Amino acid sequence: MTVTPQDIRDAMALPPGGAAARRLPKDVLAEHGAANAADRKAIDKVIERLDWWATLSPATIGVAAGTDNKRPVPAIQLLAFTAREQPTQRLLAMVHRSIPVPIILLTQLPAKTGTRVSVAPLRKAERVGDKMVVERIIVSPDLIDPEAEATKAFIASLALPRLPQVSLSALYAGLVERVEALEVAKLTDSPFGLVDDPDARRDALERYREADAEWISARAAAKKEKSLAQQVILGNRVRKLKEERDTLLNALGA
């Protein structure tokens, strides 16, 4: 038994009624999200199906429109993505930028092995008219065991009444905070929880990600090095980078 996109949708406690769900054609996604032939090939290969499930708007959930990055947020779209194989970050970003409003994307992983939740604040592209680009994409850890404490707490936190109600942009920011909080809980093996200063947590999480990527890169380079002298130098660098990474990780869990 694993967490499914439907579990997430049910947990959100959306108002009853609304338009029926519908399947979105992949050629529309390719037209609006793909940048080249490789992107279009990935869309066709990886996506089994993409479904529109709901629109969160002032009319459907009673939360006022807001602004995000100085642009209106008239609605938030809830989409379900069934994947044939593991989707890349780039493919998820393609889906998120295919519609010019924020998206909550629920991805069913291959062979129904779990679900990922992704959110992505948008901004206007520079020098490209009204085209929207993904400012950053935030992807949850794989939600597999529905009984895991952090997973249960995260899913429970997604109920609409528990999200910010000031505006749709604030509500979406609340979703971003929750996905980041789950990442921190999984990384540090600590309880899921929100904080008073989510921007500070976000900065700390980004510093950890950068340190982790640098450590992984240095470790790979050390394994490939043939010179004994260089191996020693690189080995010392790997140890130092790991110490820095672990310090940042410990700070995240504090």
Tell me the pLDDT tens digit for each residue of 51-72.
Answer: 999 999 999 999 999 876 667 7
Segments of the chain scoring below 70 in pLDDT: 68-70, 126-131
Q: In total, how many domains does the chain have?
A: 2
Rounded Cα distance between 104 and 54, Å, is: 10
Q: What is the pLDDT of residue 127?
A: 63
Q: What is the pLDDT of residue 70?
A: 64
- At residue 132's C-alpha, the angle toward residues 21 and 30, to 5°, is 55
Rounded Cα distance between 164 and 152, Å, is: 20
Statement to judge: residues 155 and 228 lie in one domain: no
Q: What is the pLDDT of residue 133?
A: 79
Pairing mode, strands 103-108 and 76-83: parallel
| Positions of E strands within the chain | 22-23, 47-56, 66-68, 71-73, 76-83, 103-108, 115-119, 122-124, 132-134, 138-139
Rounded Cα distance between 205 and 9, Å, is: 27
Statement to judge: residues 60 and 164 lie in one domain: yes
Statement to judge: residues 92 and 210 lie in one domain: no
Statement to judge: residues 58 and 108 lie in one domain: yes
Q: What is the pLDDT of residue 110?
A: 94
Tell me the pLDDT tens digit for each residue of 187-197.
Answer: 999 999 999 99
State the residue range of the domain holding 82. Answer: 5-188
Rounded Cα distance between 46 and 139, Å, is: 17
Tell me the pLDDT tens digit for each residue of 90-118.
Answer: 999 999 988 889 999 999 999 889 999 99
